[in-house]
Amino acid sequence: MPPLPLDQLPVEGKRVLVRADLNVPLTDGQITDDSRIRASLPTLRNLLDRGAAVIIMTHLGRPKGAVVPELRLDPVSRQLSDLLGQAVRKLDDCVGDEVAAAVAVLKPGEVVLLENLRFHDGETKNDPDFARGLAALADAYVNDAFGTCHRAHASVVGVAGLLPSAEGLLVARERRALDRLVNDPKRPYLAIIGGAKVADKITVIRSLLARVDRLLVGGAMAYTFLKAAGHEIGASLLDREHLADVAGLLKEDRAGAKKLHLPVDHVAVTAGRRESSLTDGVAIPAGSSGIDIGPRTIRAFSDLIASSATIFANGPMGKFEEPPFDTGTKALLRAIADSKAFSVIGGGDSIAAAHQADVADRIGHLCTGGGASMEYLTGAPLPGIAALEAAAERRL
């Protein structure tokens, strides 16, 4: 059974606990990209307009169960107050007697923000007592944090089992967009996977190869693929632990439909030098490290993008946060925007790059959850969605 839609959850005069994904990037205590906060506004406004008292919970960074002052949510509460146009009081904890007392006097139309959930290790461990402490604050629960739906955490899974629960508007919108890729996507279907960590994406790549028509690999993870294919990669990043897995994947692809496409040239830098150079071909000279895809790769990948009907992209093609090594990432994003395909871009880095390339408004859907979106596309059940589905079943 699908999750209960937000408009079917009775909220008037009730305290509603909302799991949002407000894990925004901070530099010197200042928010550098508030996209995730803005994405949460429709659900929050819906609840407030319908007479709910709203209790927001989120995580920020990876404090690993300890209080880290730099990861307190004060900047988030200030930005949220500005965007909502009303005061959002930030509490000093997320469970306990003081939190319960503050929430107990909350009136319809008012909002509080609980402190960083991950200051407690019970959050990531899905500790039942921690989940009960959160659930005790409210009468109902809404999950609007698609980016954490692939995590079996207390605020994502545990609370949903204790309160009447519904999916937020953002989660519903994310699922609708991704379902277009899962359920009979228009062909050719192209996936573009970048970033640095092979370990995070090898399982997803294997699954996607069974679903897509073409799969382009870029970013630092491409060097492990190139090494496994027998090419010299110089001093480029190499994941030796997963080299055998990648080699097996390449062998399967070569013996089958040959869907995998790897970079054919690179922008490289030499240790101790600031200037970069282009390689003549696939090989990267000894002592040099690949840092972006080269112009031949951009042209080849862009041609494949132009001939696709459905596109999913996750992860940058190079060190995009340091121009001019953002060239490959931005060029492919512009090619996606110029194409006639239905496109979905997932992950914070990819979305940030789309805004920097000034093409975000020409992408079919910007998915707030990178890891969650990739797992969703493999067909694997996400714990957060499964918990909402189970809650809907119990409601009958």
- The set of catalytic residues is 36, 197, 348, 371
- With vertex at residue 27, the alpha carbon angle to CA 22 and CA 29, rounded to the nearest 5 degrees, is 75
Phi then psi for residue 128, to 5 deg, are -60, -40
